[in-house]
Each structure stands twice: as C-alpha cells, then as structure tokens.
Amino acid sequence: MHKQLGYDSERDFAPIALLADVPNILVVNNDLPIKDFASFNQYVKANPGKLSYGSTGIGSSMHLAGELYSREFGAKMVHVPFSNPGNATTNLISGEIGLMFQLIPGIASQVKAGRVRAIGVMSPQRSPALPEVPTMVELGAPELMSTTWFALLAPKGTPPAVLQRVNVAANEAIADPAVRKRLGELGATPLGGTPKQLADHLSAEIERWGRIVRDAKIEVK
C-alpha cells in the first residue's frame, strides 16, 4: 500500500514474540433483512453495488476484511472510509452504511445493546467478549479470517540473548491468568510463542494481504 515505506518489516527487524490479536467481526444495520451469514450472502448478491461498508480508512483492517470478503465471494460493495471510528459506528447504527467488518473492542458494546446485529467473528475461535457470536469457521467460511495482531520486535542485530530474554518475559506475562482474562475482556486473544513462529506469521501475513492489496489496487498516499 505504501510505495515508499522506508523500511522492510522482515529485513529490518528481529522477531521476539506474538502477543495477542483482535478479530474483525461482521456486523450489520438492524433494519436490513439479514439475520445470519446465509441471508447476508443472499442479500449482497441480490443487491450488487448497493451495500456500503464502513472502515477507519483506506488500508485499515476493516477495509481489507471487506476486500477479502468481496474477493472470496465475488461480492460488489461500496467502501466508505471514515477518519473517526465513532462516526463510522454512528452511521452504521443510523443506516447510512449497511455493515462493517469492525474490530470487536470497537463494536462489542453496541452488539450487546442490540443497536447492531453481529453475524460472524473472523477468527478460528469465538471471542470471550461476544461468546454467543459464531465464527466464520462455524459458518462454513474458514477463508474469512481477519485480525489485527500485536507483536514485539527489536532492531535487526539485537543480540540473540537479549531477544530470548524478552521472549521468555513476554510469554510469562501472556501466561498470567489475570493478563489473559483482561485481554479476553477487551476482545483480544492471547498468543505468545517463539521468535520463529512470529517470523513465519509475519511472512505469511505479508504474502496473504499483499495479494489482496495488489488485486484491489489499494494505495495509501
């Protein structure tokens, strides 16, 4: 998306550990005749180019999640980027936009209050923040995985002993029941793991989302 980023995520950093990820969740306006994922797909196909979905900007995880759905299901929807997340949510509730692929912490309270309808969580497991909402895997769409993940990295050339020490500390923190409970309440899934696992994840994510960015010709200027 960025033609002159100034750094290379794999070349210029030393991976330490994945910390947690926050899934996107498909939510729709209550007035739409959509009750589940099947009726969502039917409605999108019956109304090509008429449904709009909001995001927090071009290239955001919400935008890319929408492009992922459109790519996998051959859907035609209109992307509406907002500079303020609160404005996007307000427009979703009012019906100015029909849906969002929101991040769970940003919409969980609205789902619980019944102001918007949750369709599916874009991760392999249900979210502790919204345990009643099925995953896309359960709904038969395992290809619709989209999360914002957090990790620790250091400058390239950091001594291996330092990387290992920080990795151990990070994993100990993530294993703490109180930390895991708090992350779950925020809608995040605790991760942890080895530097190699983070390196593999980073590489796979760059490849996966890079294809979608190139196919959709997304560019951040």
Q: What is the mean pLDDT of residues 97-123?
A: 96
Rounded to whole angstroms, what are the CA distances from 56 to 50, 63, 157? 20, 8, 35
Residue type, 134: P
pLDDT of residue 2: 84
Give the Cα separation of 160 and 42 in Å (integer): 53
pLDDT tier at 109, thresholds 50, 70, 90: very high
Name the band, by pLDDT with cuts 50, 70 and 90, for residue 206: very high
Q: What is the mean pLDDT of residues 94-99?
A: 97
Contact predicate 98/28, CB 8 Å:
yes
pLDDT band at 220 (very low <50, low <70, confident <90, very high): confident
pLDDT band, very low/low/confident/very high, at 163 (cuts 50, 70, 90): very high
- Do 25 and 50 meet the contact criterion of CB atoms below 8 Å apart? no
- List the end-to-end C-alpha distance of the chain, in Å, as a whole number: 8
- With both helix axes pointing from N to C terminus, report the angle between 160-175 and 177-185 in degrees, rounded to the nearest 10: 70
Report how far residue 99's alpha carbon sits from residue 116's, in angstroms, rounded to the nearest whole number: 9
With beta carbons less than 8 A apart as the criterion, state whether 157 and 13 touch.
no
Please give the pLDDT value at position 84: 84
Identify the bridge partners of residue 149 per DSSP, sorted by sequence position.
21
Are the C-beta atoms of residues 117 and 130 closer than 8 Å to each other?
Answer: no
pLDDT value of residue 13? 97
- What pTM was estimated for this model as a whole? 0.92
